[in-house]
Amino acid sequence: MFAPAPFLLKDTSVSQVMTQVCIALVPGIAAYAWLVGPAILVQLVIATLAALLAETAMLRIQKKPLTIFLSDGSAVVTAWLIALTFPPLAPWWLVVIGTLFAIVVAKHLYGGLGQNPFNPAMVAFAVCIVSFPALMSQWPSVGLQLPLLDQINVILGLAPRVDALSSATPLDAMKTALKLGEGTQDVPALLANQDIYGNFAGRGWEWVAIGYLLGGLWMWQRKLITWHVPVSFIGAMTLLSGGLWLVNPAQYASPLFHLLSGGAMLGAFFIATDPVSGCTTPRGKLIFGAGAGLLAYIIRVFGGYPDGVAFAVLLMNLCAPVIDLLTQPRIFGMKNAGKGDKA
Amino acid sequence: MITREEFRSIAGNGIWKQNTSIAQILGLCPLLAVTTNAVNGIMLSLATILVMALSNVAVASLRNLIPHEIRIPVFILIVAALVTVVDLLFNANLHELYLVLGIFIPLIVTNCIVLARVEAFAAKNPPLQSTLDGVFMGVGMLWTLALLGGMRELLGSGTLFGGIDMVFPSLQPIQLLPESYPGFLLALLPPGAFILLGCMIAWKNWMDARAAERAKLKPPAPVAAAGCH
């Protein structure tokens, strides 16, 4: 986009891009399904159906053509991201409310595909964690292997929600232990003694994060995303968490722990790289990613919520138009950046 | 005194055309803070109606005596005196509700709706019209705040008219949704108020657009000019 001609032409439609994003999510989903069982696949189906229904209804109201917009796959990607960020055994209506809010309010009320200032999936997450904080923080404990039918019963609300379904995430457990311990707990001991932690981060969850990383690298290799956002996101998070870790390794977990915990990898490759709600200039993308990474770390470590990626991305979405405006590349033949020939 | 057309125009402006909340978008601070249920919205609106009617009639009666250069401080003095009266009335007679509405009753004095009507209408019109304008502007605020409060309450906690026992001790709030309803907390928080207010504004614009389209199809009726501006 910022190089002189000649260009290679490639016929890429929205639906092709969205299909490839879904394929890139598969390694992460596979690791997720291996970790918590088939519940996540049920949630993916629920979210997809809700998203397609909401999309159909909104298109009908606006009298837009159904087939073109329904088959572009953007609603499916939003639905999958919602299902992957919500707790896998969350009740079905929670996922449905999140998805409806994402498609109806965050996407269509702002003008539909390509017009939304906020990432719809992250709006869904923020709305639900603000409105239903208890349900959104109940994650199944590690090693809990319920059969498919039991998992479906829990999701549909037919079976009671037992204690084993309501653990904190490894990230949340670490924060709570450190806060309650008031300096008596230290990170290395927590990592070594509690069986929710594996080799680098949360047991099992670290492999899900690596699955997302692999999918993200594949998207980069396919040129679906550029390197700017993931690199600056991961770099900024590594710098901040690494700095604090070097100063006080007893109270701050290592950068590797933070990168492989919570939504960091999903956020860096799949959410902050959203071309609609993010920045478009190369320098803007670097600032966007770095800001999201820093905010995500600050919110998850010092804030009150279990993870900060959703709020970090939404806050940076707010800044994206200004960042784009201030980082316009120099126009060929002009002295000043972005001034055009108005001078 | 007042013609039928004038009355119609004043009432129509207050209730729909220039509705304070969904057309002029004024007074958002109390609107967001107070409408967590319908009763609070209604009671604050009633207090505002009282203040607006009284301040409009006072300013309209004195409009020829107030020097133009210092009119705003004089208006504010009049409004502040009336708000103090209403504040003391609420404190004495509806003390529990007064504690809920809290700072927003004294803050009516800074509510831009009150000053806007005094400056835009009462300073230029006779007392009777001004009183009606104050009342109908307040009625417009009343139904929007009641509707917004009712929606937020229903979505947020599944009840309707929560806190009505503070006004009428014999009445109880209505539990519309089952007790097990988890409550959509966002509706009770300020972002929920903004989103729902946005939906109401969209609804008004849609109704107006539809009415304009219908008017285009019909042959134009003789227009009676009864502007209040």
Query: Tell me: the pLDDT tens digits for A283-328?
Result: 999 999 999 999 999 999 998 888 889 999 999 999 999 999 999 8
Query: What integer pLDDT is reported at residue B132 of this predicted model?
Result: 94
Report yes or no: B133 and B10 within 8 Å, Cβ to Cβ. Answer: yes
Read off the pLDDT of each residue in A126-146 and give the average, rounded to a whole number: 83
A154 or A228: which leads in pLDDT: A228
User: In terms of residues, how long is chain B?
Assistant: 229
Query: What integer pLDDT is reported at residue A322 of this predicted model?
Result: 94
Query: What integer pLDDT is reported at residue B137 of this predicted model?
Result: 93
Which pair of tokens denotes residue B60?
Answer: 């309209």
Q: Examine the pLDDT at A337 and tell me if it is beyond 70.
A: no
How distant is the Cα of B182 from the closest Cα of chain A, in angstroms? Answer: 8
Beta bridge partners of A139: A167
Cβ <8 Å between B195 and A127: no
Query: What CA–CA distance (Å, rounded) separates A209 from B24?
Result: 50
Cβ <8 Å between A135 and B182: yes
Residue B108 identity (one-letter amino acid): I
How distant is the Cα of A131 from the closest Cα of chain B, in angstroms? Answer: 4
Beta bridge partners of B74: none
Test mutation, B152, B185, B205, chain A, max A CBs within 10 A: B185
**Residues of chain A with C-beta less than 8 angstroms from the C-beta of B184:** 97, 131
B25 touches chain A (CB under 8 A): no
Q: Examine the pLDDT at A270 and tell me if it is beyond 80.
A: yes
B207 touches chain A (CB under 8 A): no
Query: What CA–CA distance (Å, rounded) separates A312 from A165?
Result: 27
Cβ <8 Å between A131 and B184: yes
Report yes or no: A116 and A107 within 8 Å, Cβ to Cβ. Answer: yes
Test mutation, A131, A136, A137, A318, chain B, max B CBs within 10 A: A131
**Residues of chain B with C-beta less than 8 angstroms from the C-beta of A131:** 183-187
**Residues of chain A with C-beta less than 8 angstroms from the C-beta of B198:** 109
Instruction: Give the DSSP letter string of A235-290.
Output: HHHHHHHHHHHHH-TTTS--HHHHHTSTTHHHIIIIITT-TTTS--SHHHHHHHHH
Q: Examine the pLDDT at B14 and tell me if it is beyond 70.
A: yes
**DSSP at A307:** -
The model's pLDDT over A151-200, given as tens digits with 9 standing for 90+, comes to: 888 888 777 776 666 677 888 888 887 877 766 777 777 777 777 777 77
The model's pLDDT over B114-159, given as tens digits with 9 standing for 90+, comes to: 998 999 999 999 999 999 999 999 999 999 999 999 999 999 888 8
Residue A315 identity (one-letter amino acid): L
Q: Examine the pLDDT at A208 and tell me if it is beyond 80.
A: yes
Band of the pLDDT at B227, cuts 50, 70, 90?
Answer: very low
**Residues of chain A with C-beta less than 8 angstroms from the C-beta of B187:** 131
In chain A, beta strands by DSSP E: none
Most confident of A125-134, A156-165, A230-239, B89-98: A230-239
Q: Residue A270: which residues within 8 A CB-CB, separation 6 or more?
A: A21, A24, A25, A81, A212, A215, A216
- Which residue in A129, A122, A155 sits closest to B185, CA to CA? A129
Residue of chain B minimizing CA distance to A134: B182
Nearest to A130 among B182, B189, B195 (CB): B189
Query: What CA–CA distance (Å, rounded) separates A266 from A269?
Result: 6
The model's pLDDT over A280-295, given as tens digits with 9 standing for 90+, comes to: 999 999 999 999 999 9
Nearest to A105 among B182, B187, B195 (CB): B195
Greatest CA separation for chain B: 61
How distant is the Cα of B156 from the closest Cα of chain A, in angstroms? Answer: 9
Which pair of tokens denotes residue A227?
Answer: 């390197």
How distant is the Cα of B202 from the closest Cα of chain A, in angstroms? Answer: 10
Q: Examine the pLDDT at B219 and tell me if it is beyond 70.
A: no
Cβ <8 Å between A130 and B184: no
Band of the pLDDT at A112, cuts 50, 70, 90?
Answer: confident
Query: What integer pLDDT is reported at residue B131 of this predicted model?
Result: 93
Q: Examine the pLDDT at A9 and tell me if it is beyond 80.
A: no
**Residues of chain B with C-beta less than 8 angstroms from the C-beta of A109:** 198
Q: A39-43, A106-110, A201-205, B29-33: which has the minimum mean pLDDT?
A: A201-205
**Residues of chain A with C-beta less than 8 angstroms from the C-beta of B182:** 132, 135
Residue of chain B minimizing CA distance to A109: B199
How distant is the Cα of A126 from the closest Cα of chain B, in angstroms? Answer: 10
ipTM for the predicted complex comes to 0.78
Distances (CA, A) of A100 to A53, A104, A106, A116, A334: 9, 6, 9, 15, 46
Report yes or no: B211 and B16 within 8 Å, Cβ to Cβ. Answer: no
Query: What integer pLDDT is reported at residue A336 of this predicted model?
Result: 64
Cβ <8 Å between A132 and B189: no
Distances (CA, A) of A190 to A254, A260, B10, B35, B159: 13, 17, 70, 46, 45
Q: Examine the pLDDT at A247 and tell me if it is beyond 50.
A: yes
Nearest to A130 among B186, B195, B198 (CB): B186
Test mutation, B181, B184, B189, B203, chain A, max A CBs within 10 A: B184
**Residues of chain A with C-beta less than 8 angstroms from the C-beta of B195:** 105
Percentage with pLDDT > 90 across chain A: 50
B185 touches chain A (CB under 8 A): yes
Nearest to A131 among B185, B195, B198 (CB): B185
Q: Examine the pLDDT at B166 and tell me if it is beyond 80.
A: no
Q: Examine the pLDDT at A244 and tell me if it is beyond 90.
A: yes
Cβ <8 Å between A132 and B185: yes
Residue identified by tokens 């991305």 is A313
Query: For residue A321, how far is the Cα from the chain centroid?
Result: 20
A131 touches chain B (CB under 8 A): yes
Cβ <8 Å between B186 and A105: no
Report yes or no: A285 and A279 within 8 Å, Cβ to Cβ. Answer: yes
Read off the pLDDT of each residue in A101-125 and give the average, rounded to a whole number: 92
Band of the pLDDT at B202, cuts 50, 70, 90?
Answer: very high
Query: What integer pLDDT is reported at residue B102 of this predicted model?
Result: 80
* HEC profile of chain B: CCCHHHHHHHHHHHHHHCCCCCCCCCCHHHHHHHCCCHHHHHHHHHHHHHHHHHHHHHHHHHCCCCCHHHHHHHHHHHHHHHHHHHHHHHHHHCHHHHHHHHHHCHHHHHCHHHHHHHHHHHCCCCHHHHHHHHHHHHHHHHHHHHHHHHHHHHHHHCEECCCHHHCCCCCCCEECCCCCCCCCHHHHCHHHHHHHHHHHHHHHHHHHHHHHHHHHHCCCCCCCCCCCC
Band of the pLDDT at A343, cuts 50, 70, 90?
Answer: very low
Query: What integer pLDDT is reported at residue B228 of this predicted model?
Result: 45
A97 touches chain B (CB under 8 A): yes
Q: A106-120, A193-207, A260-274, B52-66: which has the minimum mean pLDDT?
A: A193-207
How distant is the Cα of A263 from the closest Cα of chain B, in angstroms? Answer: 23
Q: Residue A160: which residues within 8 A CB-CB, separation 6 or more?
A: none
Cβ <8 Å between A132 and B195: no
Nearest to B182 among A109, A130, A132 (CB): A132
Residue identified by tokens 């309209």 is B60
**Residues of chain A with C-beta less than 8 angstroms from the C-beta of B189:** 130
Cβ <8 Å between B185 and A97: no
Interface of B with A in 91-110 (CB under 8 A): none
Each as own residue / partner, the long-range contacts of residues A323-332 (CB below 8 Å, 24 or more positions apart, any chain) are A323/A279, A323/A281, A323/A284, A323/A287, A323/A288, A324/A279, A324/A280, A324/A281, A324/A284, A326/A284, A327/A279, A327/A281, A327/A282, A327/A283, A327/A284, A327/A287, A328/A281, A329/A2, A329/A281, A329/A282, A329/A283, A332/A4
Which pair of tokens denotes residue B109?
Answer: 């004095």
The model's pLDDT over A65-108, given as tens digits with 9 standing for 90+, comes to: 888 888 888 999 999 999 999 998 889 999 999 999 999 999 99
